[in-house]
Amino acid sequence: MTPIPYLDLSRGRRRFESALAERWRRVLEANAYVLGEEVRTFESAFADYLGAARVVGVANGTDALTLALRALGVGPGDEVLVPAFSFFATAEAVVLAGGRPIFCDVDESTYNLDPEDAAARWTPRTVGVVGVHLYGRPFDAESLAALASRQGGFLLEDAAQAQGARRRGRRVGTLGALAAWSFYPTKNLGAFGDAGAVSGPDAALVERVHRLANHGQTSRYHHVEIGTNSRLDSLQAAVLNLKLAALDDDNASRRELAALYRERLAGVGDLRFPADDPADEPVYHQLTIATAERDALQKFLAERGIGSSVHYPSPLHRQPALAALLPEPPELPRAERAAREVLCLPMFPELEPAEVEAVASAVADFFAGGARS
Ligand SMILES: Cc1ncc(COP(=O)(O)O)c(C=O)c1O
- Rounded distance from Cα 56 to ligand 1 centre (Å): 17
> Per-residue pLDDT for 214 more than 60?
yes
Q: What is the pTM of this model?
A: 0.97
- Rounded distance from Cα 89 to ligand 1 centre (Å): 6
Torsion angles phi and psi, residue 240, rounded to 5: -65, -35
> Per-residue pLDDT for 193 more than 90?
yes
Q: Per-residue pLDDT averaged across 74-99, rounded?
A: 97
Residues in a beta bridge with 229 = 214
Q: Are 341 and 335 in contact (CB under 8 A)?
A: no
For 307-341, how does the pLDDT look when each residue is reduced to its tens digit (9 = 90+)? 999 999 999 999 999 999 999 989 999 999 999 99
All domains in the chain, ordered by first residue: 9-244 (3.40.640.10), 247-372 (3.90.1150.10)
- Rounded distance from Cα 86 to ligand 1 centre (Å): 9
Grouping H, G, I as helix, E, B as strand and the rest as coil, residue 14 is helix
Q: What is the pLDDT of residue 373?
A: 46
Q: Per-residue pLDDT averaged across 75-98, rounded?
A: 97
Measured CA to CA in angstroms, residue 223 lies from 63, 265, 350 at distances of: 19, 57, 46
Q: 97, 102, 125, 129: which is closest to 115 by C-alpha?
A: 129
Atom of ligand 1 nearest to the CA of 86: 1
Cα 88 to chain centroid distance, Å, stands at: 11
Q: Are 161 and 203 in contact (CB under 8 A)?
A: no
- Rounded distance from Cα 131 to ligand 1 centre (Å): 13
- Rounded distance from Cα 159 to ligand 1 centre (Å): 9
Q: Are 270 and 175 in contact (CB under 8 A)?
A: no
Q: Per-residue pLDDT averaged across 230-237, rounded?
A: 96
pLDDT confidence tier of residue 371, bands split at 50, 70 and 90:
low
Residue whose CB lies within 8 A of the most ligand 1 atoms, among 82, 133, 182, 188, for a mutation test: 182
* Protein residues whose CB sits closer than 6 Å to any atom of ligand 1: 60-62, 65, 86-87, 89-90, 132, 158, 160-161, 182, 184, 194, 196
Q: What is the pLDDT of residue 1?
A: 76
Q: Are 101 and 82 in contact (CB under 8 A)?
A: yes
Atom of ligand 1 nearest to the CA of 89: 4
Atom of ligand 1 nearest to the CA of 60: 10
Q: Per-residue pLDDT averaged across 15-30, rounded?
A: 95
Ligand 1 atom 8 nearest Cα: 61
Residue 265 Ramachandran class (φ > 0 left, ψ -120 to 50 alpha, else beta):
alpha
Q: Are 241 and 23 in contact (CB under 8 A)?
A: yes
Ligand 1 atom 7 nearest Cα: 61
Residue whose CB lies within 8 A of the most ligand 1 atoms, among 58, 62, 88, for a mutation test: 62
pLDDT confidence tier of residue 35, bands split at 50, 70 and 90:
confident
Measured CA to CA in angstroms, residue 331 lies from 6, 79, 121, 318 at distances of: 32, 18, 12, 11
Q: Share the mean pLDDT of the chain.
A: 97
- Rounded distance from Cα 31 to ligand 1 centre (Å): 29
- Rounded distance from Cα 195 to ligand 1 centre (Å): 10
Q: Per-residue pLDDT averaged across 262-279, rounded?
A: 96
